[in-house]
């Protein structure tokens, strides 16, 4: 019976490696010789990258198969991807809103869902605030006012070069030092109570808030559709004159004022319950009478906003400076005011280079929220980390953590890519 050559039986790894290296070298030579044909070169380049990735793919697949079928029972149990333990009752408390997760009554899936919502809401609020602050700081850096420009530069250089974990720690400690103690019962007119344990503000009825948001969204959609129809019928762009902008701003301002009055039409102020009236610090807010903002959430939002806004400011400044000088000169020749130049000429064109960079920063906000453990905020990383210590199922929980952050990043990337396609639709 013919035997296989020794090189294939005794040195399979070296043989496979030599074969892959040879295929990669041939593909690279073909790429260099087909430089005149972009389509063939692109196809060869894709094949070349696949050849380079093949060893890693094969190693990953075979390694996972080996671990799942390992003869060692301990290793096999560690890699068991059974998720039944997530249906058991959770054994620790977290700070949650709006999804309630009760210690000893709800499953680990419930706590995981609450943690994901915690991470999502701190990310959304931070993205909005850092974008607004970053645009202001970035434009201020280009100001002719030396004082304003210098202050904006100092802000960028300080917060951009400060590690986020250190910044979160500083914000957390400063909040503890500056906010009044819980026993002082600090409040503003009996409407807002605040201390180093949180903020309590008046609570509006949920249906009023949802009704206002739904009306606002429907009105916005109606105006956008009407503008699109008018543009197609008349063949003209949206009126961006100062008068038109002032009218639109007045309309939306009136909508917000009316909606605010509607929401505040039936609110409950914080109701304080004192267990021992003569002893300070024995009060608490009655359930359902106030909306609580925890200091952990506030510290996370402040830290992420201050840190990311410094990077957004540099993106805004660089994108504006990258515009051709002739664009600004043309706007000046049209006698546009500085505000009109910024709103009608500079920022719309700068968005083309800003959006891809902002996409990366927004994904960084989502991933940087994993540092919430510094301020004891119950985000998804914190909750899964505690579950690992309690349950010991590291591999399934790590996979769950990986998928969670991956899905969040892909969602942000998809939204920003769709917006980028809309921004770059118009050719300059």
The CATH number assigned to the domain with range 108-169+296-423 reads: 1.10.3720.10
Q: Give residue 130's pLDDT.
A: 95
Q: Give residue 376's pLDDT.
A: 87
Domain chopping of the chain, boundaries: 11-71, 108-169+296-423
Whether 183 and 281 have beta carbons less than 8 Å apart is answered as yes
Q: Give residue 408's pLDDT.
A: 94
Q: Tens digits of per-residue pLDDT, 345-372?
A: 888 888 888 999 999 999 999 999 999 9
61 sits in the region (left: phi over 0; alpha: psi -120 to 50; else beta) called alpha
The alpha carbons of the chain give a radius of gyration, in whole angstroms, of 29
Q: Give residue 257's pLDDT.
A: 80
Q: For residue 195, what is the enclosing H or E element?
A: strand 192-195
Long-range contacts of 285-288 (CB under 8 A, 24+ apart): 285/193, 285/200, 288/203
What is the number of other CB atoms lying within 10 angstroms of the CB of residue 196? 15
The answer to pTM > 0.85 is no
Q: Tens digits of per-residue pLDDT, 290-315?
A: 778 888 999 999 999 999 999 999 99
Question: Distance from first CA to last CA of the chain, Å, rounded?
Answer: 73
Rounded distance, CA 297 to CA 372, Å?
9
CA triple 134-137-142, angle to 5 deg: 130
- The candidate with the shortest Cα–Cα distance to 373, out of 386, 360, 362, is 386
Give the torsion through C-alpha atoms of 180, 303, 213, 249, to 10 deg.
100
Q: Tens digits of per-residue pLDDT, 237-255?
A: 556 666 766 777 777 788 7
The DSSP line for 254-288 is HHHHHHHHHHTTSEE---EEESSTTSTT-EEEPTT
Whether 268 and 289 have beta carbons less than 8 Å apart is answered as yes
Rounded distance, CA 125 to CA 377, Å?
15
Q: Give residue 310's pLDDT.
A: 94
Q: What is the mean pLDDT of residues 189-209?
A: 79
**β-strand 267-268 against 187-188: which pairing, if any?**
unpaired
CA-CA distances (angstroms) from residue 234 to 67, 229, 237, 238?
66, 9, 9, 10
Residue 292: phi, psi to the nearest 5?
A: -100, 130
Rounded distance, CA 377 to CA 296, Å?
5
What is the number of other CB atoms lying within 10 angstroms of the CB of residue 132? 13
Whether 212 and 259 have beta carbons less than 8 Å apart is answered as yes
Question: 63 falls in which pLDDT band (50, 70, 90)?
Answer: confident
Q: Tens digits of per-residue pLDDT, 81-93?
A: 778 888 888 877 7
């Amino acid at each position: 019976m013919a035997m296989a050559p020794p090189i294939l039986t005794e040195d399979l790894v070296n043989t496979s490696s030599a074969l892959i290296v040879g295929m990669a070298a041939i593909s690279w030579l073909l790429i260099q010789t087909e430089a005149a044909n972009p389509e063939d070169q692109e196809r060869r380049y894709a094949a070349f990258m696949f050849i380079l990735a093949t060893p890693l793919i094969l190693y990953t697949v075979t390694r996972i198969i080996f671990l799942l079928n390992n003869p060692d029972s301990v290793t096999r149990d560690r890699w068991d991807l059974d998720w039944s333990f997530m249906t058991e009752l959770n054994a620790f408390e977290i700070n949650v809103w709006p999804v309630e997760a009760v210690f000893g009554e709800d499953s680990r899936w419930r706590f995981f869902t609450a943690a994901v919502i915690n991470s999502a809401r701190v990310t959304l609020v931070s993205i909005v605030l850092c974008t607004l602050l970053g645009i202001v700081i970035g434009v201020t850096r280009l100001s002719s006012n030396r004082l304003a420009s210098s202050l904006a530069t100092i802000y960028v250089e300080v917060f951009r070069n400060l590690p986020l974990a250190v910044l979160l720690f500083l914000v957390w400690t400063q909040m503890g030092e500056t906010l009044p103690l819980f026993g002082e019962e600090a409040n503003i007119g009996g409407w807002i109570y605040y201390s180093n344990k949180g903020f309590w503000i008046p609570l509006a009825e949920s249906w009023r808030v949802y009704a206002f948001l739904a009306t606002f969204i429907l009105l916005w959609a109606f105006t956008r559709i009407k503008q699109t129809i008018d543009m197609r019928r008349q063949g003209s762009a949206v009126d961006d004159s100062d008068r038109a902008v002032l009218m639109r701003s007045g309309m939306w301002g009136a909508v917000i004022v009316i909606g605010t009055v509607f929401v505040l039409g039936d609110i409950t102020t914080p109701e304080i319950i004192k267990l021992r009236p003569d002893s300070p610090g024995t009060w608490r807010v009655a359930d359902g009478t106030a909306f609580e903002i925890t200091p952990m959430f506030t510290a996370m939002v402040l830290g992420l906003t201050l840190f990311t806004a410094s990077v957004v400011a540099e993106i805004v400044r660089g994108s504006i400076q990258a515009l051709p000088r002739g664009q600004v000169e043309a706007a000046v020749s049209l006698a546009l005011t500085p505000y009109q130049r910024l709103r009608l000429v500079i920022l719309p064109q700068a968005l083309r280079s800003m959006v891809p960079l902002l996409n990366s920063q927004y994904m960084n906000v989502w991933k940087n929220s994993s540092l919430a453990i510094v301020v004891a905020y119950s985000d998804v990383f914190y909750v899964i980390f505690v579950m690992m210590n309690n349950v010991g199922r590291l591999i399934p929980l790590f996979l769950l953590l990986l998928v969670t952050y991956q899905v969040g990043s892909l969602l942000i990337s998809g939204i920003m890519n769709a917006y980028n396609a809309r921004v770059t639709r118009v050719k300059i």
